[in-house]
Amino acid sequence: MTETKPGRAHLVAGGFPPGAMGGHDHDYARLRLLGLLAERDIPASVSNDFADVEKWLPVSRLLITYVAGPYPDAAQCAAIQHWMEAGGRWLGLHGTSGGRAQRVEGVRMRRTVKTEHHALLGSKFLTHPPIREIRVDVSAVDSPLTRGLGASFVVEDEPYFIELQDPGSTQILLTADYGPSAASATSGLYDSDTSLQADGKTRVLGYTREVGSGGVTYFALGHCHNPAIHAARTVVPNETTPPIFRGPWETEAFIALLRNAIAWGVRA
């Protein structure tokens, strides 16, 4: 079984195909995440995808992923699972719940194809309406992962729809009610909106789950783009976001979430 070592992180940040940004400013997110690790003097290795993840897991306590396209294959998922079972912790952000997508005739968005990494992560991205202001409700105010956030906070971001893969083993941390205007977002893509919770209104934006002696935490928040990426993005009706967008990264709440999650990851 793969061992873990304290006080080190491995960061995967990149798009697909290699060299592409996948609609996100991974350079900016990478720098911010490395800065937050540096605050705690946590040394880190960096990759653009999961091709060499098996090399870095044995020397890392924490795996952080901010990706738009890359996802671990079956063998890499097995390595990550063994590493978590031995005590490793995985912080997945934003597009980590995506992966391989297929075109759907007559629909602008693509449908996410379920693969092994969704079961391991604990969620699968479905879709998102245009960027908007979101009130995020904190479901687990007593969790160290939500320390200092209060009962709710407001952030401008992509309103993600994610499908939990194993609700029974999942502690929900963050939810949001996007209102009736978001109800049709999955229409034509999926048979039903499996991101909706039992109340028929809320959707999960953050959770944590144990895996052996370790675990995984995922936050759907975190979109950012620069002018070149914004210009290349598919035009969304009624979207008026600026060419440079760093919405959640410029809020105290999201940065507090990341700091809490890094502390969780290295057991600080």
pLDDT at 239: 66
Whole-angstrom distance, CA of residue 62 vs CA of residue 264: 9
Pairing of strands 161-164, 152-157: unpaired
pLDDT of 1 reads 40
Peptide bond into 17 cis (omega under 30): yes
pLDDT the model gives residue 232:
74
Cα–Cα distance, 215 to 120 (Å, whole number): 10
Residues with pLDDT less than 70, the chain:
1-6, 233-239, 268
Q: Is 86 left (phi over 0), alpha (psi -120 to 50) or beta?
A: alpha
User: Do residues 117 and 84 make contact, with C-beta atoms less than 8 angstroms apart?
Assistant: no
Identify the burial level of 92 via C-beta atoms within 10 angstroms of its C-beta, where 0-12 means exposed, 13-18 middle and 19 or more buried: buried
Cα end-to-end span (Å), the chain: 24
CA dist 33 and 75 (Å) reads 27
**pLDDT value for 184:** 84
In the prediction, which pLDDT does 6 show? 57
pLDDT digits (tens, 9 = 90+) for 144-202: 999 999 999 999 999 999 999 999 999 999 999 999 988 888 888 898 999 999 999 99
Query: Where along the chain do its domains lie?
Result: 9-125+165-172+205-265
Q: Does the model's pTM come out above 0.85? A: yes
Distance between CA atoms of residues 70 and 13, nearest Å? 9
pLDDT reported for residue 62: 98
Residue 237 has a pLDDT of: 61
